[in-house]
Amino acid sequence: MKQYTGWQALYLSFYSTDLYRDVAKNWQGVGYLYLLLVVCLTALFICVQVQVVAVPKAKDVIDTIINQAPSIKIDKGKLSIDKPSPFVIKEPKSGQTLITFDTSDRPMTLAESKSVVLVTSKQIVTVKRTAMSRDTGGGASSVPIAEETYDLSTVDHFDFDKTQVESTIHSFLNWLGALMFLILVPFGFLFCVIQTLIYALIGKIFTSVMAVDLSYPTLIRLTAVCLTPVLLADSILKVSGTNLPLWWLCAIVIALGYLGYAVFANSQTTPGPATTGR
């Protein structure tokens, strides 16, 4: 009979040999329902952090930028604004020029505007990619090496309503966490399933070395549980904003280390106390 539930495995997976013996001998299937639970939980941590912390900051920045924007009108392919030209919109904190409006008959180039986007009366020009180069003073500067141009001649009529745009962006941001959850869960789960299939094959090497008779489906089930510490640690790093060098490689080593530990636990014939790990 199954001794431990999936909820108990969330913390026992970090240390308990008894859990891994129970998973191998008493759990059914390949453990993907449990793995889905862990993926959902870790995705929830990340999405809540984004919704509670990142979204309010994004709203403040976007509101500041939109409030700087002029009223924009396009009539028969010609754009006009209600501000003197050229007019610039800057990033609030850094002061970097984001958008330059130049609706004069002879507008400046994107390079001359030193902005990310240049809006003229006939087209919108954006930086496609940037490269670091040395200026004459020996300092590093970012210069556009490619541009992307959008022709406005096909636009018959358009009015930029700041209130409507702000409301639309706010509505999107209000559901950003839920949207991220719907994207992270299926892709994260698929990625973890692929990992279990590969790691379980490596687990066959462990069973051979330790002389343990564990089937491939059992190793997949054990791997699903062994991924728990890695997934939880990964979500904590993401939520805290910590960027560890070569974390992906560390995650692989940790997961395989726990799989080796799980196989070792099943090589022991004498079980210990119910919740005591070795």
Going from N- to C-terminal start, the domains of the chain cover: 6-52+175-265, 70-159
φ, ψ for residue 161 (rounded to 5)? Answer: -100, 105
pLDDT over 60 at 274, yes or no: no
Residue-level pLDDT at 154:
86
> pTM value?
0.73
15-37 b/e with 16+ CB inside 10 Å = b?
Answer: ebbbbbbbbbeebeebbbebbbb
pLDDT over 70 at 133, yes or no: no
Residue-level pLDDT at 137:
45
Residue 55 binned pLDDT confidence (cut-offs 50, 70, 90): very high
Which residues is 88 bridged to in the sheet?
A: 100
Phi-psi region at 250: left, alpha or beta (left = phi > 0; alpha = psi -120 to 50): alpha
Residue-level pLDDT at 185:
96
Higher pLDDT, 62 or 26: 26
How does pLDDT run across 73-86, given as a tens digit for each residue?
888 889 988 888 88
